[in-house]
Amino acid sequence: MTNRLTYGMLVLLLVVLAGCDAILGSKQDDVTDEIFEAGRNDPELLNEVEYVPLFPFYENGADGLPLDSPQDVYAGFDEFLYVVDARGLHVFDLSGRPANFIPIEGGGTSVVQDRLFRTYVTARRDTLLNGRVWNLPVVLRFDNITTGTPALGDLIWHPFDDDSRKFNAPDPIDTDENVSFTGVGVLYDNHIYVARRGPVNPRGTFILPHNTIMEFDENGVNLQSLVTLHPTRESLRSSLFPADVATYVHPPQRSFFSQERHLLLLQSSGLDDVIGGGLPPLSPMRYAALSIRVVPTSDGVDYQPDTDKLRIASNPERGDAFLYDEFRFSNPTDVTVAADGSNFIFVTDGGTDSLYVFTGQGVEGVTPPPGASSTRPVTVSFGGTGDGAMQLDRPMGVATFQRIVYVADSGNNRISRYRLNTDFE
């Protein structure tokens, strides 16, 4: 027997509540009206398996002002919530209480934390060079945010800290101001992957194309650019206009993480910062979300397409939709993986104003609960443009911790929260 309200019961409840209002006065608010209106219009709203909103959504920053176009959200290893918006870095406890605020001129675009509780924020910064002020992408590393006095521990600049440029032109060129750092992923050893995107330089120039994933060690030293990932041609192993990069190392903290270095990356030429020469806009891409397996071989490390997810996507009996469906995403903005044992993959799409949820095998949906009549994953993706509880407006970031999903709902200036409901017996 399901443990839910039927449509008839919902109507009866509304009648009873209306009678009570005549005596006691109404206690409804906009949120209540929205939920009940949805119930009237869609009797199947209260499903056995779905994400349900957790109120209140977070609308104010840690500085006491309303959030201003939040770009990313991350639940840290220290169990604090980190949000970047147009003003800077906001830190909350998991109950939403402000803990700290660090202003960042121009704001931040993505945020992540390593296992040493060091917090990385992608942003931009001005620097004076050769009599000209350059506005260049940076990765800011903040230390001691919740355990002491916050301090800027390191600064990674493009192009100065890009080792691939050391034999060419370490000074910036005009196209460097059109380059962005779009995401950071943390590895088990506290190395980081950094996604760099920008215009594709014309052929014959003396520097490599901007689009790549770079690896830095725990001291901020650039170890490599993943040159195996093609920077100018879309494929199953490319990094064309990377919008984000993520790994499988996420909270909760533990003494041991797998030493695999696999990554997920998003490609999208639909973001506003892709300007300048090279390729015309290509969004949506055929495969905008890529799973890359990092495989040691006798000839060194190889970066290979995830053939398992590709094979599953070719079998329609495994599910209704897949991570590797062609043209699955319009303008993907952020990706993360749940490290709570579920291994769910979450992707926000600013083109469809939606949050997509996949199993660890790349099937859209979540594993059905015990007692379900089918073993096929249940689709729980949601969204659509608007400011309703289950609607989004330019979602730019997603995080998950303790089965709660946080979405940086940029157009609505809020952090929306959802929890997976599996009320099925």
Same domain assignment for residues 317 and 339: yes
- What interhelical angle do 7-24 and 30-41 show, nearest 10? 150
- For residue 177, what is the domain's CATH number? 2.120.10.30
Q: Which domain range does residue 349 map to?
A: 53-422
Q: What is the pLDDT of residue 168?
A: 65
Same domain assignment for residues 99 and 22: no
Which of 221, 226, 242, 244 has the alpha carbon at shortest distance from 161? 221
Same domain assignment for residues 127 and 228: yes
**pLDDT in single tens digits along all 425 residues of the chain:** 444 444 444 434 444 444 444 333 444 444 444 443 433 333 343 367 999 999 999 999 999 999 999 999 999 999 999 999 999 999 999 999 999 999 999 999 999 999 999 999 999 999 999 899 999 999 999 999 998 899 999 999 999 998 877 766 678 888 899 999 999 999 999 999 999 998 876 554 555 678 999 999 999 999 999 989 999 889 999 999 999 999 999 999 988 899 999 999 999 976 554 434 444 445 579 999 999 999 999 888 999 999 999 999 999 999 999 999 999 999 999 999 999 889 999 999 999 999 999 999 999 999 988 877 888 999 999 999 999 999 999 999 999 999 999 999 999 999 999 999 985 43
The terminus-to-terminus CA distance of the chain in angstroms comes to 6
CA distance 365 to 384: 17
Same domain assignment for residues 328 and 418: yes
Joined together, the tokens standing for residue 111 give: 């945020």
**Under 8 Å CB-to-CB from 206, ≥6 apart: which residues?**
168, 169
Same domain assignment for residues 96 and 230: yes
Q: How many helices (H) and strands (E) does the chain have?
A: 3, 24
Q: What is the pLDDT of residue 203?
A: 52
Same domain assignment for residues 214 and 346: yes
Same domain assignment for residues 34 and 57: no
Same domain assignment for residues 367 and 345: yes
Same domain assignment for residues 39 and 65: no
Tally of domains within the chain: 2
Same domain assignment for residues 119 and 15: no
Same domain assignment for residues 19 and 164: no
Return left, alpha or beta for 299; rule: phi > 0 is left, psi -120 to 50 is alpha, else beta. Answer: alpha
Q: What is the pLDDT of residue 7?
A: 41
Handedness of CA 250, 256, 258, 262 (dihedral sign): positive
Same domain assignment for residues 171 and 276: yes
CA distance 243 to 241: 6
